[in-house]
């Protein structure tokens, strides 16, 4: 690794013995390299760099830990404000403000604050709706600090208490997440984690027609996290996980007929013997969430 300041001189040296340049083909870097070395072929380095990025160094893990701590704090700041009559964008503003206050770059991705029926829309990020009493609000909000992302989702009751059906479904998503976290260790693959979650959802609870719930999970439950919030190639890998990788576990249920969407997402480090939940500081248990919201 070399300092960025030496980039142009080192590039000139490297080009004396190399015909082509392998790089991530992203702007504005492609344009810059084409002007520095107009006659050289640019090759996509994605497939080479991806595996190098999957396993994090100690310094990277520390950076993700710090970013995750700020993400947890941002969620807690939002919980303090959530109440009927507040707009989704006000919640997003509170989380973004906290991140900037802590010296982070800001959000690692467009914050999703999805109340009531909006939570059944997977990538809803308009954040324009006024929250109503008795609803849930899903917050998928993560910070980027020192170049490293974190990815955290919680779903909490707008009025501070889960209604019985909300709690029943929440407990099922929570159980599915716990099953996947319990299985997370080196050697496990992302497709296996998906299967564990889907089996759990299919084995617990029913929809309004008496059908099983697995089909209401409409996305994969895990991806790598690092310099990018969806850090490739762990995002799509079927390779066994290794200690030092950082991934999310994010089961969800999105049931339009009931206007309920629930996701719980944490950022976890794979360790030699299992895993460490880096976002464990943010309550996941329904009773703990209710207690945290009571303290407002
Ligand atoms: Mn995610």
Structure-model confidence comparison of residues 18 and 72, the more confident one: 72
In this structure, the answer to whether residues 131 and 30 fall within a common structural domain is: no
CATH number of the CATH domain containing 256? 3.90.230.10
Using the mean position of ligand 1's atoms as its centre, give its distance from the Cα of residue 34 in Å: 34
Domain membership flag for residue 270: yes
In this structure, the answer to whether residues 272 and 153 fall within a common structural domain is: yes
In this structure, the answer to whether residues 78 and 147 fall within a common structural domain is: yes
Domain membership flag for residue 50: no
Tokens of 242: 């290794």
Full-model pTM: 0.89
In this structure, the answer to whether residues 78 and 36 fall within a common structural domain is: no
Domain membership flag for residue 49: no
In this structure, the answer to whether residues 13 and 69 fall within a common structural domain is: no
Using the mean position of ligand 1's atoms as its centre, give its distance from the Cα of residue 150 in Å: 9
Helix (H, G, I), strand (E, B) or coil at 34: helix
Check if the beta carbon of residue 149 is closer than 8 Å to that of residue 142: yes
Question: Shortest CA distance to 252 belongs to which of 107, 153, 164?
Answer: 153
Domain membership flag for residue 245: yes
* Percent above pLDDT 70 for the chain: 98
The pairing of beta strand 266-270 with beta strand 20-23: unpaired
Using the mean position of ligand 1's atoms as its centre, give its distance from the Cα of residue 12 in Å: 40
Tell me the residues surrounding ligand 1 (ion) with CB < 5 Å.
151, 248
The pLDDT of residue 38 is 86
Structure-model confidence comparison of residues 230 and 136, the more confident one: 136
CA-CA distance, 92 to 74, in Å (whole number)?
9
Using the mean position of ligand 1's atoms as its centre, give its distance from the Cα of residue 84 in Å: 27
Using the mean position of ligand 1's atoms as its centre, give its distance from the Cα of residue 264 in Å: 10
In this structure, the answer to whether residues 101 and 61 fall within a common structural domain is: yes
* Percent above pLDDT 90 for the chain: 75
In this structure, the answer to whether residues 11 and 126 fall within a common structural domain is: no
* Full DSSP string of 145-202: ETTEE---EEEEETTSS--HHHHHHHHHHHHHHHHHHHH-STT--HHHHHHHHHHHHH
The pLDDT of residue 65 is 98
In this structure, the answer to whether residues 261 and 212 fall within a common structural domain is: yes
Q: Once rounded to an integer, what is the mean pLDDT over residues 21-33?
A: 88
In this structure, the answer to whether residues 144 and 285 fall within a common structural domain is: yes
Q: Count how many domains the chain has.
A: 2
> What is the DSSP code (8-state) at residue 127?
-
Angle, CA of 120, 215 and 164, to the nearest 5°: 60
The pLDDT of residue 232 is 64
Question: Shortest CA distance to 267 belongs to which of 106, 63, 29?
Answer: 63
Using the mean position of ligand 1's atoms as its centre, give its distance from the Cα of residue 107 in Å: 13
> Does position 286 have pLDDT exceeding 60, yes or no?
yes
Domain membership flag for residue 82: yes
In this structure, the answer to whether residues 71 and 37 fall within a common structural domain is: no
Question: Shortest CA distance to 264 belongs to which of 252, 255, 254, 256?
Answer: 252
Using the mean position of ligand 1's atoms as its centre, give its distance from the Cα of residue 252 in Å: 11
Domain membership flag for residue 105: yes
**Boundaries of domain holding 231:** 55-292
In this structure, the answer to whether residues 194 and 224 fall within a common structural domain is: yes
Q: How many CB atoms lie within 10 A of CB 20?
A: 11
Using the mean position of ligand 1's atoms as its centre, give its distance from the Cα of residue 182 in Å: 19
Q: In the chain, what is the greatest distance between 2 CA atoms, to the nearest angstrom? A: 70
Q: Once rounded to an integer, what is the mean pLDDT over residues 168-194?
A: 97
Q: Once rounded to an integer, what is the mean pLDDT over residues 35-53?
A: 84
Encode pLDDT of 61-113 as tens digits. Answer: 999 999 999 999 999 999 999 999 999 999 999 999 999 999 999 999 999 99
Using the mean position of ligand 1's atoms as its centre, give its distance from the Cα of residue 14 in Å: 38
Q: Once rounded to an integer, what is the mean pLDDT over residues 250-256?
A: 98
The pLDDT of residue 247 is 95
Using the mean position of ligand 1's atoms as its centre, give its distance from the Cα of residue 257 in Å: 24
What's phi and psi for 251, nearest 5 deg? -70, 155
Local confidence band at 296 (pLDDT 50, 70, 90 cut-offs) = low
In this structure, the answer to whether residues 35 and 159 fall within a common structural domain is: no
Using the mean position of ligand 1's atoms as its centre, give its distance from the Cα of residue 246 in Å: 12
Local confidence band at 50 (pLDDT 50, 70, 90 cut-offs) = confident
């Amino acid at each position: 690794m070399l300092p960025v300041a030496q980039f142009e001189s080192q590039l000139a040296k490297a080009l004396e013995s190399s015909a082509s340049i392998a790089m991530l083909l992203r702007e504005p870097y492609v344009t810059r390299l084409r002007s520095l070395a107009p006659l050289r072929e640019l090759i996509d380095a994605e497939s080479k760099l991806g595996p190098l990025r999957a396993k994090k160094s100690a310094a990277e893990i520390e950076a993700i830990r710090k970013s995750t701590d700020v993400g947890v704090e941002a969620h807690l700041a939002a919980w303090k404000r959530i109440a009927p009559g507040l707009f989704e964008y006000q919640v997003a503003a509170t989380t973004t403000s906290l991140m900037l206050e802590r010296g982070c770059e800001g959000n690692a991705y467009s914050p999703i604050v999805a109340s009531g029926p909006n939570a059944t829309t997977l990538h809803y990020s308009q954040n324009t709706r006024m929250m109503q009493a008795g609803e849930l609000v899903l917050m998928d909000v993560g910070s980027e600090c020192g170049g490293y992302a974190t990815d955290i989702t919680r779903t909490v009751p707008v009025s501070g208490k889960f209604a019985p059906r909300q709690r029943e479904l929440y407990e099922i998503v929570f159980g599915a997440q716990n099953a996947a976290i319990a299985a997370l260790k080196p050697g496990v693959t992302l497709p296996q984690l998906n299967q564990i979650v889907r089996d759990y959802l299919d084995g617990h609870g029913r929809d309004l027609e008496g059908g099983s719930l697995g089909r209401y999970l409409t996305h994969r439950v895990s991806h790598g996290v690092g310099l990018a919030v969806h850090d490739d190639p762990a995002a799509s890998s079927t390779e066994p996980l290794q200690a030092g990788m950082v991934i999310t576990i994010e089961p969800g249920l999105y049931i339009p007929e009931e206007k309920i969407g629930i996701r719980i997402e944490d950022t976890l480090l794979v360790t030699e013997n299992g895993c460490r939940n880096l976002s464990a500081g943010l309550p996941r248990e329904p009773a703990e969430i209710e207690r945290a919201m009571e303290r407002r």
